Amino acid sequence: MRIFSLVWYIWAGVSLSLYASEWPCQEAIYRPQIKTLLLVNPQTPYGLPVISLQAANDLLELSFDDLDGDYKNYTLTFLHCNADWTPSNLKSSEYLEGFFEFNIITYSFSVGTYQKFTHYKVQFPSSLSQQYTRFKLSGNYMLFVFENGDTEKPVFSKRFMVVDSKASIQCSIRQPVSDAKPGGQQLELTMDLNASSVANVQRDVYIRVFQNNRWDNVSEHIQPQFVQGNRLSFQFNKELMFEGGNEYRPLDLRSLRFQSPQVKKMNRDENQLMQVELIPDESRAIKPYLYYADINGAFTLYNRDAIDATSVLEADYVNCKFSYKSQEVSKPVYLIGSWTSAQPKSRIPLYYNSNSGHCEAQVMLKQGFYNYLFSESNGSLAATEGSFWDTENEYTILVYYRPFGTYFDQIIGYAKCNSLKAR
């Protein structure tokens, strides 16, 4: 048995490494029946999926629905990636300990819903003896799910990050001196590389900054203005200047018995699936800024009409029609939110309907509360939502480090910065 396990371990490591070059390090859903795909740290459910390399109790939870409504044998595996999200040259055995691949064994069937589905859930790294898995290195990771062990055809893929904290980060936010981005927010960072001796900062250190966990709005290739030993200062940096944007638009789908303020009409089709048409949205670019609490593009599942309102098994699916008033047919408009992250370029396109004079998109969503915005093709919000210095935004900073002579990127720093608290 021990010889067999050793042979399987070596084979699996080689097999995964061979397939690595064929797997793109990008989020995608390859099967239309997969819905409501979530990968979160339960301690920070509205943030990016980040865990600490040192914390034994730090876990990520993967969950998704399969609208086929039956049981499938889904397996899970991981791939280490570079800072630029290309596959690293590491073998699986260099960054994983235990099983390189394991089954998703926790599943449940929907209860009392018109749309039948099977809900799958798994937490990792796993300490279970039968599926023990541990990450040995920090860095960017891809999660791949396959059916029946067919590693040539992923069902979906998700990104996450593992941090080995060796740097401390201080962040402040002010109004930009430059008017390059009206209504912008300028980040200033100070970073101490506590336990790392960096020979060449410009060559070895790489910083990535996210606004509201958006993969389509990431600032990269940022160089410090001042270096004093292992202390780096980032000031007046154009790569750290972001559009302020606007607060996210709310969408309340928690009840299918009563219409929320955003809903124009609701009715069931011949299959009893609820069709929801939203009141058409319009540009907020010339409207005054109005603060209200949002969840920065995230969503939460909830069904007010169910016996257990928080049960993910009792939340039904609806076909939701979004509309945006637009006179410029030639300019595409996109829906963005954390729930669009597995789409190409992290957004859903709206198409112009000449009959209504609106840009429209039909999206299947699970009951709950959602946040969304409209953007242009380059990710800008200025023309669709406006851009205001006052807007509450959440920024996430990741620090990558590749010591000279090594061949993979570590993540040695992680911090979050809120635009209201860091002024």
Confidence label for 127 from pLDDT (cuts 50, 70 and 90): low
The mean pLDDT of 117-131, rounded to a whole number, is 84
User: How far from 320 is each of 215, 243, 248, 276, 365, CA to CA, in Å?
Assistant: 23, 28, 18, 5, 7
Residue 100 lies in a domain: yes
Q: Is the pLDDT of residue 67 over 70?
A: yes
The answer to whether residues 312 and 64 touch, using CB atoms and an 8 Å cutoff, is no
Confidence label for 330 from pLDDT (cuts 50, 70 and 90): low
Cα distance between residue 314 and residue 308, in whole Å = 7
The whole-number pLDDT of residue 10 equals 41
Domain identity same for 114 and 172 = no
DSSP helix/strand/coil, 298: coil
| Beta bridge mates, 370 | 251, 299
The mean pLDDT of 140-152, rounded to a whole number, is 93
What is the DSSP pairing of strand 348-353 with strand 333-336?
antiparallel
Q: Convert 54-106 into a string of H (helix), E (strand) and C (coil).
A: CCCCCCEEEEEEECCCCCCCEEEEEEEECCCCCECCCCHHHHEEECCEEECCE
Q: Is the pLDDT of residue 292 over 50?
A: yes
Confidence label for 398 from pLDDT (cuts 50, 70 and 90): very high
The mean pLDDT of 146-172, rounded to a whole number, is 94
The answer to whether residues 251 and 362 touch, using CB atoms and an 8 Å cutoff, is no
The whole-number pLDDT of residue 14 equals 43
Across 90-129, b (16+ Cβ under 10 Å) vs e yields bbbbebbebbbbbebeeeeebeebebebbbbebebbbeee
For 265, phi and psi rounded to 5 degrees?
Answer: -160, 160
Q: Which of 153, 145, 124, 106 is nearest to 49 (CA)?
A: 124
The whole-number pLDDT of residue 228 equals 85
Residue 380 lies in a domain: no
The whole-number pLDDT of residue 8 equals 36
In the chain, the percentage of residues whose pLDDT exceeds 90 is 72
Q: Which of 39-53, 145-159, 189-203 has the lowest mean pLDDT?
A: 189-203
334's CB contacts (< 8 A; 6+ apart) are: 347, 348, 349, 350, 374, 375, 376, 377
- 23 half-sphere exposure, CB direction, 13 A CA radius: 32
Higher-confidence residue of 359 and 2: namely 359
Domain limit, last residue, from 107, 129, 163: 163
Domain identity same for 18 and 132 = yes
C-beta neighbour count of 406 within 10 angstroms = 10
Residue 263 lies in a domain: yes
Cα distance between residue 339 and residue 349, in whole Å = 14
DSSP helix/strand/coil, 250: strand
Residue 385 lies in a domain: no
Domain identity same for 352 and 288 = yes
Confidence label for 223 from pLDDT (cuts 50, 70 and 90): confident
Domain identity same for 95 and 215 = no
Domain identity same for 17 and 148 = yes
Residue 271 lies in a domain: yes
Domain identity same for 220 and 254 = no
Confidence label for 130 from pLDDT (cuts 50, 70 and 90): low
Domain identity same for 9 and 158 = yes
Question: SS3 breakdown of the chain: % helix, strand, coil, rounded to 5?
Answer: 10, 40, 50
Confidence label for 1 from pLDDT (cuts 50, 70 and 90): very low
Residue 283 is encoded by which pair of tokens? Answer: 């540009």
| Beta bridge mates, 350 | 333
146's CB contacts (< 8 A; 6+ apart) are: 74, 75, 77, 153, 154, 155
CATH number at residue 143: 2.60.40.10
Q: What is the dihedral of CA 193, 196, 202, 208, to 10 degrees?
A: -60
Domain identity same for 232 and 253 = no
Q: Is the pLDDT of residue 24 over 80?
A: no
Residue 384 lies in a domain: no
Cα distance between residue 263 and residue 71, in whole Å = 34
Q: What is the dihedral of CA 253, 255, 258, 259, to 10 degrees?
A: 0
CATH number at residue 356: 2.60.40
Instruction: List the domain range (segments joined by +) for residue 403.
Output: 167-244+390-418
Domain identity same for 70 and 124 = yes
Cα distance between residue 364 and residue 273, in whole Å = 10
Q: How many domains does the chain have?
A: 3
Domain identity same for 175 and 143 = no
Q: Is the pLDDT of residue 326 over 90?
A: no
C-beta neighbour count of 170 within 10 angstroms = 13
Q: Is the pLDDT of residue 376 over 50?
A: yes
Residue 423 lies in a domain: no
Query: How large is the greatest C-alpha to C-alpha distance in the chain, in angstroms?
Result: 70
Domain identity same for 10 and 143 = yes
Residue 202 is encoded by which pair of tokens? Answer: 């410009």
pLDDT digits (tens, 9 = 90+) for 69-121: 999 999 999 999 999 999 998 999 999 998 888 899 999 999 999 999 999 99
- Residue-averaged pLDDT of the chain: 89
Residue found by looking up tokens 């050793």 in the block: 6
- pTM for the model stands at 0.92
Domain identity same for 255 and 189 = no
The whole-number pLDDT of residue 403 equals 85
Residue 338 lies in a domain: yes
